[in-house]
């Protein structure tokens, strides 16, 4: 229940910030173009707070926080006194209207730059993208790994951590090939150490909902050695109820000696509802406890056992840890580049949804966003800023889609007006709005269905 309220609170804070940024873009440009703004609202429905500013604009916080709007003076909506007609939105020339409508999505992209700028100015702890193996039968199997290799670039994009590798690979889903450059971690001395591989991805098919592009393409991420000591034991889990404690050292399962964590996990997953005798060492004493793994459904829809424990791992080597922190000037350049990466990959993903390279099952709705907001806020400010930047970019792009109920639909009508020299007939616009609303409702329904199916 605490997680629910934390996720909900983080979601509302994130959504409020992003909506405010988007609507302020419309508001600011409208005012600069001489349009009278009657109301600036964050949320829909009944107002829970309102104030009228000296500029005559009513500022509102409303009950339903799933959007916002800027109400401008417009003769198409209401009667406008003769003295104010020059300040009506519909009286402005087409380029001014284009500027006002496009200002919302542009504000989202600018906000992403600001959020990432702050993130890199503060500094982000990160792990270098180092591989110690590749997976047989995958596109990456051709990479020869004799020692730890750091991924230097994916395609034309240089990468500094696993998040950037994942993002770059996602942009190549559906492509025939992808270039990956690696270099030995022990001697990163420029181009002389770099090895370039062209991976054949013609048959690279995977479900992004079930696995990351990194593992799907076959890159074996380096991970510190897993120790047999339990780091965490959930009190409500099967292990906690049976009496296991954090600090216990795994010795044997059903009198079979413990060898490695992966084999232990596989045994637990295959033993849902079956009692296991787990022997541990605690304070020098051997203890054996009967543990019956609980059942849960995995991503493939199959039942597997789980006991609610996590192992201790060795510390990351110092040469693999890094702090992505830049100065006042450099942070801006890095933020700009990262925003462009997010925009580019997001547009590619939309294209791949249209072509069928990515299933609509991967669409996420407000529940997934709320979980992401809660998780990132729980980790820390820099990660929450990164989350805000990602969602802000996606909000900007979604609003640019050429659906008549979105900013992109209005822009489509205005560009038709630029080409033809006359406005699109209102009847045509009305039909377009109805079609656009139906399509948007359908997409939202799919996203919500996906959210509930992941719970």
| pLDDT of 291 | 93
CA distances in angstroms from 217 to 23, 69, 173, 178, 341, listed in the order given = 40, 43, 10, 10, 20
Report d(CA 452, CA 327) in Å as an integer.
43
Give the bridge partners for 278, in sequence order: 253, 289
SS3 33: coil
Following CA atoms 103, 104, 105, 111 in sequence, which dihedral angle do they give, to the nearest 10 degrees? 100
CA distances from 205 to 136, 144, 154 (A): 15, 23, 18
**Distance, CA of 280 to CA of 230 (rounded, Å):** 10
Q: Of 23, 82, 147, 211, which one is the catalytic site residue?
A: 23
344 Cβ neighbours under 8 A, 6+ residues apart? 171
pLDDT at 98: 95
Tell me how far apart the alpha carbons of residues 80 and 87 are, in angstroms, rounded to a whole number.
Answer: 9
Q: Is 353 exposed, middle or buried (0-12, 13-18, 19+ CB in 10 A)?
A: middle
Residuewise pLDDT in 10s, the chain (455 residues): 566 666 667 777 888 898 999 999 999 999 999 999 999 999 888 889 999 988 889 999 988 887 888 999 988 888 888 888 899 998 999 999 999 999 999 999 999 999 999 999 998 888 899 999 998 889 999 998 888 899 999 988 889 888 888 888 888 887 889 999 999 887 655 555 788 999 998 888 766 666 788 888 989 999 899 999 999 999 889 999 999 999 999 999 999 999 999 999 999 999 988 999 999 999 999 999 999 999 887 756 678 899 999 999 998 888 888 888 889 999 999 999 989 988 888 777 777 666 666 655 555 544 454 455 555 555 568 888 888 898 899 889 888 888 877 898 889 889 998 999 888 888 887 887 777 777 767 766 655 555 445 44
Count of Cβ atoms closer than 10 Å to residue 216 Cβ: 21
Is residue 344 a contact partner of residue 429, using CB atoms and an 8 Å limit?
Answer: no
pLDDT at 444: 62
Q: Is 156 exposed, middle or buried (0-12, 13-18, 19+ CB in 10 A)?
A: exposed
CA distance 101 to 121: 31
Whether 23 is a known active-site residue: answer yes
The pTM of the whole model exceeds 0.85? no
Nearest partner of 222 among 326, 150, 328, judged by Cα: 150
Residue 131: name the closest of 227, 211, 214 by CA.
Answer: 214
Give me 77's structure tokens: 């909506």
Buried/exposed 325-342: b ≥16 CB within 10 Å, e otherwise: bbeeeebbebbeebbebb
C-alpha dihedral sign at 131, 136, 139, 145: positive
**Residue 235 DSSP SS3:** coil
Paired tokens of 275? 């009692």
Locate all alpha helices (DSSP H) within 33-93, ordered by sequence: none
Q: Are 107 and 20 in contact (CB under 8 A)?
A: no
The SS3 call for residue 153 is: strand
Phi-psi region of 283 (alpha: psi -120 to 50; beta: other; left: phi over 0): left
In 3D space, the residue among 2, 57, 14, 79 whose CA is nearest the CA of residue 377 turns out to be: 14
How far, in Å, CA of 90 to CA of 112, rounded? Answer: 30
Please name each of the domains of the chain with its CATH number. 125-224+315-324 (2.30.42.10), 226-314 (2.30.42.10)
Contact 197, 203 (CB under 8 A): no
Q: How far is CA 63 from the centre of its chain?
A: 26
Tell me the C-alpha distance between 72 and 301, whole Å.
Answer: 50
Q: Which two tokens stand for residue 189?
A: 């001395």
Q: Which helix (H) or strand (E) holds 114?
A: helix 94-122
pLDDT score, position 365: 46
* Exposed / middle / buried, residue 192 (Cβ in 10 Å: 0-12, 13-18, 19+): exposed
pLDDT at 320: 87
Question: How many other C-beta atoms can be found within 10 angstroms of the C-beta atom of residue 316?
Answer: 14
Listing DSSP states for 286-314 in one string gives EEEEEE-PEEEE-TTS-EEEE--EEEEEP
Report the pLDDT value the prediction gives residue 78, as an integer from 0 to 100. Answer: 86
Radius of gyration in angstroms for the set of CA atoms belonging to the chain, rounded to a whole number = 27
Phi, psi of 244 (to 5 degrees): -70, 150
């Amino acid at each position: 229940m605490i997680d629910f309220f934390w996720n909900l609170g983080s979601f509302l804070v994130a959504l409020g910030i992003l909506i405010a940024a988007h609507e302020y873009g419309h508001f600011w440009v409208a005012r600069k173009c001489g349009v009278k703004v009657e109301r600036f609202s964050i949320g829909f429905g009944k107002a829970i707070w309102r104030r009228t500013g000296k500029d005559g604009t009513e500022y509102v916080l409303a009950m339903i926080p799933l959007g916002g709007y800027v109400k401008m003076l417009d003769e198409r909506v209401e009667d406008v006194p003769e003295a104010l007609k020059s300040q009506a939105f519909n009286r402005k020339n087409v380029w001014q209207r284009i500027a006002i409508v496009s200002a919302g999505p542009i504000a989202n992209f600018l906000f992403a730059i600001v959020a990432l700028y702050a993130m890199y100015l503060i500094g982000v702890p990160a792990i270098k993208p180092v591989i110690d193996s590749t997976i047989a039968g995958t596109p990456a199997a051709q990479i020869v790994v004799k020692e730890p290799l750091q991924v230097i670039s994916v395609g034309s994009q240089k990468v500094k951590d696993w998040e950037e590798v994942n993002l770059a690979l996602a942009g190549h889903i559906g492509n025939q090939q992808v270039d990956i450059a690696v270099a030995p971690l022990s001697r990163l001395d420029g181009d002389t150490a770099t090895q370039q591989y062209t991976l054949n991805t013609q048959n690279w098919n995977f479900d992004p909902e079930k696995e990351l592009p990194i593992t799907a393409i076959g890159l074996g991420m380096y991970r510190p050695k897993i120790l047999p000591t339990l780091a965490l034991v959930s009190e409500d889990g099967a292990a906690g109820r049976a009496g296991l404690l954090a600090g216990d050292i795994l010795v044997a399962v059903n009198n079979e000696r413990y060898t490695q964590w992966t084999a232990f996990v596989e045994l637990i997953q295959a033993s849902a509802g079956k009692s296991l005798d787990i022997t541990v060492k605690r304070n020098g004493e051997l203890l054996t406890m009967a543990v019956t793994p609980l059942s849960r459904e995995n991503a493939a829809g199959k039942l597997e056992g789980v006991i609610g424990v996590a192992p201790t791992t060795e510390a990351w080597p110092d040469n693999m840890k890094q702090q992505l922190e830049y100065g006042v000037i450099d942070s801006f350049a890095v933020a700009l580049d990262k925003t462009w990466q997010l925009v580019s990959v997001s547009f590619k993903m939309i294209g791949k949804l249209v072509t069928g390279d990515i299933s609509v099952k991967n669409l996420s709705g407000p529940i997934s966003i709320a979980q992401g907001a809660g998780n990132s806020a729980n980790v820390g400010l820099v990660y929450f800023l990164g989350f805000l930047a990602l969602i802000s970019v996606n909000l900007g792009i979604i609003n640019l889609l050429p659906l008549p109920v979105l900013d992109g639909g209005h822009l489509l009508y205005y560009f038709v007006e630029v080409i033809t020299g006359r406005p699109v007939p209102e009847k045509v616009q009305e039909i377009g709005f109805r079609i656009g609303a139906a399509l948007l409702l359908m997409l939202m329904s799919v996203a919500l269905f996906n959210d509930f199916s992941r719970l």
